[in-house]
Amino acid sequence: MSKLKKGLKIFILVTIIFLIVVIAFISPITEYLVEKYDKKYTGRQIEMDWAYVNPFTGYLYFSNFRIYELESDSIFFSANGLSANIGMYPLFFKNYEISQLTLHKPKGVIIQNKKQFNFNSLIEQFSSKDESKKNKEPLHLSILNVKINNGELYYREMVTPINYFIKNLTIESDGYRWDADTIPVKFSFLSGIGSGAMNGNFTINSKNKNYTLAILIHKFDLNIVGQYIKDLSNYGIFKAFLDADFKSKGSLIDRENVTHSGNIKISDFHFGKTQKEDFASFDELVIAIHEVSPRKFIYFFDSVSVSHPYFKYEKYDHLDNVQTMFGKKGANIKAANADDEKFNLVIEIAQYIKVLSKNFLRSNYRVDRVGIYKGEIKFDDYSLNEKFSIELDPFTFTADSVDKAHKRVNFNLASEIKPYGDVTLDISINPKDSSDFDLTYHFQKIPAAMFNPYLIKYSSFPLDRGTIEVKGSWNVNNGKIKSDNHLVIIDPRIGDRLRNKNSNWLPMRFIMFFVRERGNVIDYEVPIEGNLNDPNFNFRDVIIDILQNIFIKPVTTPYRVEVKNVETEIEKALAVKWPMNSSLLTSKQESFLKKMVVFLEENPLVSINVHPNNYTPKEKEYILLFEAKKLYFIKYNNEKNHSLTKNDSLAIEKMSIKDSLFTNYLNAKVNDSMIFTVQEKCSILVGTNKIDAIFNTLTLQREKVFMQYFIQNKVNKQVNFLSAKTVVPFNGYSFFKIEYEGEFPDYLIQAHKKMNELNNEAPRDKFRKQRQKNRIIQ
């Protein structure tokens, strides 16, 4: 028995030593074999600091594991630690089972060059090249309980280019079984660039490629989208954040076979020329989806809303801000879309949305609530001799339940128009037939002087009075139109001609004789009939009014002259209007100021308050353009002393800012491809400080010219000159507003009485209410 015990002890000791030796040597041997045969079996160089392998339990661990790029010293994949448990018992039955696989702080790099990826060689390496093997029994390989802790994944696209990564990547999965098709995955990660987090659950059927996805996204920085936009645009800055609580199920093979639900919010969206200059933006876009399924023809939204959207459209001498950004007629987008070798995420998203929405109008769609709130749309036209600007701000667009099951769907738009006016638009449409709708619109309180940049360009004459109102209704049934449209311009008045070499000339006073009626209004109704593809405009009312103006209006000429004189008398008593870039008074204005001096002398207890109202942006634009043309004129004419004669100033004033020699001069002085407007180039050439100084001198000179009559007659103490304010005047000119403290002058009282009498007479009585409604108090 003692010998047996001794032999048993020796056997156990030998066994333990053998196990220790095996464990001690199998680890470096494994490391050696992996690094020796890495290229043979993977095509890649593989390295690690050290390895631990326990062949009895099936546990292995690789420290600082690294896989390199193909034929490169750059790392493709690495992990601080890679551990796995390999089932030893199933090996005897040709079942290969990794019961646990864990990656500690892995880091992977995906590189794309057109349609080629840096992992393509690995796919080719492990793909079966023997067609006969494909028909054999599948490999019994299972990888279970997969975990990735605190990983990083980098994506680089070489052509666009794109550089992006995610961090703190955590993945947990029950793994893959050779005899099961479903693979569940739980994941979470943070944005590597900027803020944001995503987490969710993803399940895919490896056989039919059907999937389910549930994802939560919090304030995720969409920097990667901005990188793709740079590929489509010549310039521009993009910013946005994504929040979502979203569920989806469908097929990776068939994009239409999908069902989506949940909430999506894009916030703090900005896209524009620079970080400070947006072309488009909004605070929030929120889409609440009950169910969207293109294959089932289901589009059911709880709501779609946008808060504070902003869009600015600028028109230049050549192209506009959209085309300068994306190429003429969207050339950049068309080129990217036509390049099959190139991937662009923005285009892919647009195409996917197109796939999702193509069945929308044929489906039983429903959107419970649609709204655009506090919107702002701005249009600037720099292609004229002076800038034209108009805004819809704030505008609101709402719709009741947009449901194809309803007989009618109603849309409403309401907005202020800046600098003056407002608009309302109501549409009632048959959701089953877009050619069956009713529309009413109303534009009102719009100053005619606002369109002076166009009037000067095409006629050389501005308007210094007039209020525009346009309204109408459209009834369209089965594409057939029955429409009434009504244009009214109250009290339009032609100003003095402005001569400019780039302006056309039209005999506006002669034209106004034919188009303006006896009551000093332009009032036309233009019915439209026919169908949407071939509308017929009925100008019967226009023709009749013109004929009446030819034969009837001359009889009322004395009446119209009297109206004009009374209007002028009232205007002079309440305001002094200043021509652009000038401090000179007309002879009529001088006469009136002398008349006012006499009134103050006779009424020492009466005083007047003078409120300077400056159209500062337009005044500075006129000064800016004049000073820039002046610099060009001096150089072109080789002026040494820079002193200009009156004729020189007139020549400069008449010079067009579109003159080819002048624009060539500007381009040579301001050689910047990102500056598209003459105004911007002139501002850089002249300098804002100089413009401010000239404008300040101009305002002081106007005050001096105005006050000299009161000072000379020693009634200046009865004149209170108040602080100036910047406004956009209704008539388009800077002016001094005059208010009377105490008794009103008899001539003003009599003028108002006479004006009321004239307004109550037949030619003007018809539009008395419109005049009262459109009255603008500066």
The pLDDT tens digits for 199-213 are: 999 999 988 899 999
Mapping DSSP to helix (H, G, I), strand (E, B) and coil, where does residue 399 land? Answer: strand
Half-sphere exposure in the Cβ direction for 404 (13 Å, CA): 15
Q: What CA–CA distance (Å, rounded) separates 301 from 136?
A: 49
Q: Is residue 393 a contact partner of residue 372, using CB atoms and an 8 Å limit? A: no
User: Quick one: angle between helices 646-654 and 616-636, nearest 10?
Assistant: 110
**Residue 777 pLDDT:** 40
Six token digits for residue 400: 């009741």
Q: Is residue 236 a contact partner of residue 273, using CB atoms and an 8 Å limit? A: yes
Q: Averaging pLDDT over each range in 35-39, 311-315, 346-350, 727-731, which range is the top one?
A: 311-315
pLDDT beyond 50 at 543: yes
pLDDT beyond 80 at 450: yes
Which residues partner with 258 through β-bridges? 250
Mean pLDDT of the chain: 86
pLDDT beyond 70 at 19: no
How do beta strands 719-721 and 607-614 pair? parallel
Q: What is the pLDDT of residues 44-83, one digit of tens each?
A: 999 999 999 888 788 999 999 999 999 889 999 999 999 9
Q: Which of 180-194, 523-537, 611-625, 635-649 has the lowest mean pLDDT?
A: 635-649
Percent of the chain surpassing pLDDT 90: 48
Six token digits for residue 687: 């300098």
Rounded (5°) CA angle 644-647-648: 40
Q: Please measure the distance between the N-terminal and C-terminal CA atoms of the chain and give it in whole angstroms.
A: 122
pLDDT beyond 90 at 642: no
Percent of the chain surpassing pLDDT 70: 86
**Residue 327 pLDDT:** 93
Instruction: Tell me which amino acid residue 452 is.
Output: N
Q: What CA–CA distance (Å, rounded) separates 540 from 526?
A: 8
Half-sphere exposure in the Cβ direction for 466 (13 Å, CA): 22
Nearest to 431 by CA among 495, 366, 373: 366
Distances 660 to 361, 638, 663, 666 between C-alpha atoms, Å: 51, 19, 5, 10
Q: What is the pLDDT of residues 559-595, one digit of tens each?
A: 556 566 666 666 666 888 888 889 998 888 888 888 8
Q: What is the pLDDT of residues 344-369, one digit of tens each?
A: 889 989 888 888 888 888 888 899 99
pLDDT confidence band for 680 (50 / 70 / 90): very high
pLDDT beyond 80 at 747: no
Q: What is the pLDDT of residues 368-421, one digit of tens each?
A: 999 999 999 999 999 998 999 999 999 999 998 888 888 899 999 999 999 999
Looking at 47-135, list the stretches that DSSP marks H as alpha helix, in order from N- to C-terminal side: 120-126
Q: What CA–CA distance (Å, rounded) separates 758 from 507?
A: 28
Q: What CA–CA distance (Å, rounded) separates 600 from 593?
A: 11
Nearest to 332 by CA among 226, 228, 222: 228
pLDDT beyond 80 at 545: no
Q: What is the pLDDT of residues 102-150, one digit of tens each?
A: 999 999 999 998 888 998 888 887 775 555 555 566 778 888 999 999 9
Q: Which of 324-328, 435-439, 501-505 has the lowest mean pLDDT?
A: 501-505
Q: Is residue 42 a contact partner of residue 17, using CB atoms and an 8 Å limit? A: no
Q: What CA–CA distance (Å, rounded) separates 470 from 473?
A: 11
Q: What is the pLDDT of residues 27-52, one digit of tens each?
A: 888 888 899 998 888 889 999 999 99
Q: What is the mean pLDDT of residues 278-302?
A: 94
Instruction: Tell me which amino acid residue 732 is.
Output: G
pLDDT beyond 90 at 156: yes
**Residue 438 pLDDT:** 94
Which residues partner with 216 through β-bridges? 199, 245
pLDDT confidence band for 174 (50 / 70 / 90): very high
Distances 775 to 438, 516, 522 between C-alpha atoms, Å: 31, 20, 17
Q: What is the mean pLDDT of residues 517-542?
A: 81
- Specify the pTM: 0.86
**Residue 555 pLDDT:** 46
**Residue 771 pLDDT:** 59
Q: What is the mean pLDDT of residues 509-525?
A: 81
Looking at 637-677, list the stretches that DSSP marks H as alpha helix, in order from N- to C-terminal side: 646-654, 660-669
Distances 576 to 22, 111, 738 between C-alpha atoms, Å: 106, 70, 8
Q: What CA–CA distance (Å, rounded) separates 662 from 654?
A: 13
Q: What is the mean pLDDT of residues 443-458?
A: 92
**Residue 585 pLDDT:** 87
Q: Which long-range contacts (CB under 8 A, 24 or more apart) does 580-584 make?
A: 580/618, 580/619, 580/622, 580/733, 580/734, 581/619, 581/622, 581/623, 581/626, 581/698, 583/698, 583/701, 583/702, 583/704, 583/705, 584/705
Nearest to 522 by CA among 540, 538, 546: 546
